[in-house]
Chain A
Amino acid sequence: MVQRDLALLEKHGVTSLDDLPPEVQAVREGHVAQSDAFAYGLLPADSQDARKLPPNNGYTSKVRVLDRYKVIGFISSGTYGRVYKAVGVNEQSGEFAIKKFKPDKEGEMIQYTGISQSACREMALCSELSHPNMIHLVEIILEDKCIFMVFEYAEHDLLQIIQHHIQPTRHPIPASAIKSILFQLLSGLLYLHTNWVLHRDLKPANIMVTSKGEVRIGDLGLARLFYKPLHNLFSGDKVVVTIWYRAPELLLGSRHYTPAIDLWAVGCIFAELLSLRPIFKGEEAKMDSKKTVPFQKNQMQKIVEILGMPTKAKWPGLVHQPEFTQLQSISSAVREASQGNTGLESWYWNTLKSTGYPDSPPSANPGAQGLDLLAKLLEYDPAKRLTAEQALQHPYFTANGDRVTANCFEGMTTQYPHRRVSAEDNDIRTSSLPGTKRGGLPDDSLTGRPTKRMKE
């Protein structure tokens, strides 16, 4: 019986799944850390010898960072380590950003202490993912107890662009540019979510823009897969997303959060591109010595001031949030509401006016559709908040018969300054890592930006 059925299948030419073309074939096929050919041969002669050594004789990298790249300066640093700008030498050509993960130090000697989970995630995810709106990983080099992730170089990031528009006086980022940035950002995010990856740290500084105006989502240090996790997401990382971009369900202690947290952050970024300042600029309550996660009252307050108090009617799951009772401590006064407008409506129109968006032509103004999209991204109930896919379908992107440009700088006269690179520190191999500082550009701490994340 069975055999007959199977024979039938064969006769009717049951196609093998293997023959199916991959749904989304990687656009850039070479988009993996290192090719197998590379690992199997094609190595410098001395490294070949090193390869023969068993681990007990010491691990030696087959590739040396400095054989392939010339470091020209320091870009930025954070809890993870530092980022350098480099140019390729020998067969590599072009500009690169090299992220060097800080090894833990035990005394003065650098020791192997195990790679942080965040570095593991970033290495694995960047090796796997490939999309025009994701930062492109060139290779990963494990050398001298350090991890070097080599990325394509992006000249700008959204933080830098926003800062350019407040100097010397405030002048708006063109509406068409914002539309393009948002569309590209959402496209990259849709790709991540389709692949069950939560970014969990979207903010202007992590969104790069190339000199051709292409948006690239970067920094997957907090990203992780959310397909049937062995443990709930909360138990893994107690705190995710930089405070200003943190979704209300996270602030209220949600254990089983969803991709909607990334869409909230997109809403915050959209608002920030319009107003040139963070929309919910709360102060972070620090974790106490017992490492209990405090309720972020001030941040929640900032949200309520503009959006009003969340209600059970609009967000049925609200009462089940672990920190629900803490909401009582928040003043429900809406700062911005006036003349029958919701707080967000007032905030939006006031912002457009004060930033200086002209009323005409309509394409020069983000308009009513911009407000509608923003409101649906900054929706309290994560179940009702737009998904990346829905957001991309929003009429905002097609309003006035506009088309979204693939180059967000198209038609712009503004020239953004190049990324500031400090040439004073270009020794990528030094083990000493001076304090957190961003070369040339105002430091995160100087502009009062909250630090990225908890140290693991």
Chain B
Amino acid sequence: MAANYWASTQRRHWQFSRETLSEIRQQLEDEERALVQQYPLPDRRLLSIFFNQQLGKLGKKMNVRQQALATAQVYIRRFYSKVEIRRTNPYLVLATALYLACKMEECPQHIRMVVSEARQQWPADFIISDVSKLGECEFYLISEMNSQLIIHHPYRTLHEFQGTLSMAQDDISLAWSIINDHYLTDLPLLVPPHVVAVTAMFLALTLKPTQTGLQAVASTAVSLNSVSPMSKELPGTTPGPPNTQQKKVQHLVSWLAEGEIDIKAVVECSQEIISLYDIWEQYNEKTCKEQIVRFVKARGLDK
């Protein structure tokens, strides 16, 4: 159902346990062992950072809203859970996912516009000017996703909660960016959107970064990672938050007590996001690009 996450296809067909998801991926890789060995790729999260940056650049030119970018990211993740990436031209998949996401989020872009922007954005030989390639890839995407195209995002939960929790604008903005970042991980395929929203609020309140932003968050990761996952501890007492901040956290916690949020899931989700910030430091755009270009060119996937 469109507004009810519990009955949605997202929950029924696109929410996996970590084990199932890794089995699905393992199976895909096993079927393509030679390919996988021949063309190594960076960590999935690093690859996601690359995809997201490319998508962001493409979207910016067409003034695409964040929610449509998020939908496109989920489409890409779903698609690559069923199709081996080395069998595709990722640039074409990115552009197609964005084109489809814009239609589904009710901010449609003309297919010609998407193709021409994509050609400008990326070395023109990656995207053929003929719109039919993108149209064909759209069939492929929809088919692999079983026409299940409606995505429930954490933004909505954040929006609904911010009033209840009277969060400051700064905290909301930070929570919003943390939600943006979670699309770089597997979390969209692992946890319900409201858990991500709650996690983002938690992190926004407890890991309040200084001027250095991401850096501050990443450094905190160490303290959280040292905590055993099963001890259910949350990064509440990390670098001595000011008193007011502590009150906000308390408020959030007591509010959570009234609701029925899966605290364990929130803890795991926090760790996933913090480890993303950790690995982010290894990100190298050039490496990602080169590794993608290698198999696309070698296999003629750009033709």
| Chain A interfacial positions (CB closer than 8 Å to B) | 1-3, 5-10, 12, 14-18, 20, 22-26, 32-36, 39-40, 52-56, 58-59, 61-62, 111-115, 117, 120-121, 123-130, 140, 142, 145, 194-197, 224-225, 227-231, 236
Report which of B2, B148, B249 forms a contact with A2, defined as CB distance below 8 A. B249
- Specify which chain A residues have a CB less than 8 angstroms from the CB of B263 in the assembled complex: 6, 9-10, 14
Given contacts A112-B135, A124-B148, A195-B1, contact A2 B236 (CB under 8 A): yes
Closest partner residue, chain B, to A129 (CB atom): B1
User: For A2, what are the chain B residues with a Cβ–Cβ distance below 8 Å?
Assistant: 206, 234, 236-237, 246, 249-250, 253
Which stretch (B39-47, B49-57, B99-107) binds chain A?
A: B99-107
Name 6 interchain pairs, CB-CB below 8 A, sorted by A. A2-B249, A5-B257, A24-B6, A54-B301, A142-B139, A230-B105
Q: B137 at the A/B interface (Cβ < 8 Å)? A: yes
Q: Which of B7-15, B181-189, B216-224, B273-281 contacts A (4 or more CB under 8 A)?
A: B7-15
Task: Give the residue among B1, B13, B300 with the most A Cβ atoms within 10 A.
Answer: B1
B194 pairs with A128, CB closer than 8 A = no
Instruction: Return chain A residues, CB-CB under 8 Å to B68.
Output: 230
Known: A20-B6, A39-B82, A59-B143. Contact between A230 and B232, CB under 8 A?
no
Closest Cβ of chain B: how far from A408's Cβ, in Å?
A: 25
> In the bound complex, how far is the Cα of B103 from the Cα of A128, in angstroms?
17
Q: A7-B232, A115-B138 are in contact. Are A61 and B143 (CB under 8 A)?
A: yes
Q: Across the interface, do B105 and A128 meet the contact criterion of CB distance under 8 Å?
A: no
5 nearest A-B residue pairs (beta carbon)? A112-B135, A2-B236, A16-B262, A22-B6, A114-B111
B86, closest chain A residue (CB): A54
Q: How many A-B residue contacts, CB cutoff 8 Å?
A: 218
Q: Is the CB of A32 within 8 A of B137?
A: no
In the complex, whether B92 has a CB less than 8 A from a CB of chain A is yes
Q: Is the CB of B3 within 8 A of A114?
A: no
Q: A2-B250, A25-B7, A123-B149 are in contact. Are A117 and B1 (CB under 8 A)?
A: no
A26 close to B236 (CB less than 8 A): no
Interface 1/0s, chain B 240-251, versus A by CB < 8 A? Answer: 000000100110
Q: Is B67 an interface residue (CB 8 A)?
A: yes
Measured in the bound complex, the distance between the Cα atoms of B267 and A10 in whole Å is 12
CB atoms of B135 and A18 under 8 A apart: no
Q: Contacts of B268 on A, CB cut-off 8 Å? A: none
User: How distant is the Cα of A2 from the Cα of B9 in the complex, in angstroms?
Assistant: 35
What 18 new A-B contacts, CB under 8 Å, besides A36-B13, A230-B105? A2-B234, A5-B254, A9-B257, A10-B263, A22-B6, A23-B6, A32-B146, A55-B89, A55-B92, A56-B89, A56-B300, A56-B301, A112-B135, A114-B138, A115-B142, A128-B9, A196-B3, A227-B156
Would you list which residues of chain B between 138 and 193 have a CB under 8 Å from chain A? 138-140, 142-144, 146-150, 156, 159, 192
| B259 contacts across to A, CB distance below 8 A | 17
Docked CA distance A258–B89 (Å): 42
B66 to chain A, nearest CB (A): 10
Per-residue CB contact flags for chain B residues 75-117 toward chain A (1 = under 8 Å, else 0) read 0000000100001110011000001100111111001000000
Q: Are B136 and A59 in contact (CB under 8 A)?
A: yes
Taken together as a complex, chains A and B put the C-alpha atoms of A87 and B148 apart, in Å, by: 25
Distance to closest chain B CB from A175 (angstroms): 33
B-side interface size class: 35 or more
Stretch at the interface among B126-134, B207-215, B285-293: B126-134
Within the complex, the shortest CB–CB distance from A56 to chain B, in Å, comes to 5
Look across to chain B and name the residue whose beta carbon is closest to the beta carbon of A236.
B106
Cα–Cα distance between A16 and B299 once the two chains are bound (Å): 47
Query: In chain A, what residue has the closest Cβ to B264?
Result: A16
Q: Is the CB of A5 within 8 A of B250?
A: yes
Q: Do A125 and B2 touch (CB < 8 A)? A: yes
Cβ of B148 and Cβ of A128 under 8 Å apart? yes
Q: How far is the CA of A23 from the CA of B261 in the complex (A)?
A: 16
Would B147 and A33 count as touching, CB distance under 8 A? yes
Nearest residue in B to A106 (C-beta to C-beta)? Answer: B132
Known: A3-B237, A14-B260, A22-B4. A58 touches B104 (CB 8 A): no
Min CB–CB distance B64 → chain A (angstroms): 10
Q: Kindly identify which residue among B9, B93, B99 contacts A127, using a CB–CB cutoff of 8 Å.
A: B9
- B123 shortest CB reach to chain A, Å: 16
Q: Taking CB as reference atom, which chain B residue is nearest A26?
A: B7
A147 to chain B, nearest CB (A): 8
Are A195 and B3 in contact, with the CB atoms below 8 A? Answer: yes
Nearest CB in chain B: distance from A113 CB, A? 6
Considering the complex, give the chain B residue whose CB is closest to the CB of A9.
B257
B60 close to A (CB within 8 Å): no
Find the B residue at minimum CB distance from A193: B3
The answer to the question of B18 belonging to the interface, with a C-beta cut-off of 8 Å to chain A, is no
Q: How far is the CA of A2 from the CA of B11 in the complex (A)?
A: 30
Q: Which residues of B contact A1 (CB under 8 A)?
A: 236-237, 246, 250
Q: B30 an interface residue at 8 Å Cβ cutoff?
A: no
Which residue of the partner chain A has the closest CB to B233?
A3
The chain A residue sitting closest to B259, CB to CB, is A17
CA distance A3 to B236 in the complex (A): 7
- Chain B residues contacting A36 (CB-CB under 8 Å) are 13, 146
Tell me how far the C-beta of A227 lies from the nearest C-beta in chain B, rounded to whole angstroms: 6
Complex Cα–Cα for A36 and B27 (A): 15
A229 touches B106 (CB 8 A): yes
A227 to B232, CA, bound (A): 35
Nearest CB on A from B243, distance (A): 11
Residues of B contacting A111 with CB < 8 Å?
A: 131-132, 135
